[in-house]
Amino acid sequence: MVFIGEEPIHIEANADIGELVVFPGDPLRAKYIAENFLENARLVTNIRNMSGYTGMYKDKKVTVMGSGMGMPSASIYTFELIHYFHVKKIIRIGTCGAVSPKVNIGDILLASRVYSESNFAYTYNNYPKYIVDANSHLNDILLKIAEAKNIKLHMGLLTTMDVFGPYIDYERVLKRIPQKYDILGEEMEAFGIIHVANSLGIEATCLATVVDSKYSNVVLTPKERETTLNDMITLALEAIIK
């Protein structure tokens, strides 16, 4: 892989980044997690207001930072975290829209695999497929923790789109997905994050809380999205330290 420069461009070069990263899209959600879940958390990078915090969770050093929206943004931070800071595990935590009647508003989805019709992976490193596998080891840990904590978790396929689904007629996009893929939810980052992580040989997966659904008129507000995702946050933190 060709890249330019010996220091990261989008993360502070001297940032104290842990090997374990919880990765929300929203930097304000990163701030919320740092303030409410981590001990001795401190802001370690804030280039372009993409905040990253490092602190302790049950005596383990954890970094939580925003990825931004969409695969281009998320892939930049994923690459820099792995290449420059030697991150070993990444769990994306985000929100998604339900595209299956099997899941409801507020449910948590765990990606087994992620489908995307984007050319992202082909552009990135000539990867010709439209599906990537989340890390099975991380997923096994998440499933065991969810069961122990009595947290309902749906494991299955997500799709990552290049556009925000509710703003388009995404039914035509969903109809293009091969029927053998039973998609539970759609979002905008997981495919890119997992593909970069897989390409660089580290563990990565995605948790996503359903905040809107084609089967429901209920939509969580931005404030609810920021502060009412505690079960998902807890699952990610408990799993990342194992």
Q: Radius of gyration of the chain from Cα atoms?
A: 17
Q: Classify 157 in phi/psi space as left (phi over 0), alpha (psi -120 to 50) or beta.
A: beta
Alpha helices in the chain (DSSP H): 27-37, 71-85, 120-125, 136-148, 171-176, 190-199, 222-227, 230-240
- C-beta separation of 94 from 51 below 8 A: no
Helix, strand, coil in percent for the chain, rounding step 5? 35, 30, 35
**Local structure of residue 49 (DSSP, 8 states):** G
User: Which of 26, 59, 212, 231 is labelled catalytic?
Assistant: 212
- The DSSP element (H or E) to which 6 belongs, if any, is none
Please say if 212 is a catalytic residue: yes
Alpha helices in 92-221 (DSSP H): 120-125, 136-148, 171-176, 190-199
The residues carrying an active-site annotation are: 212
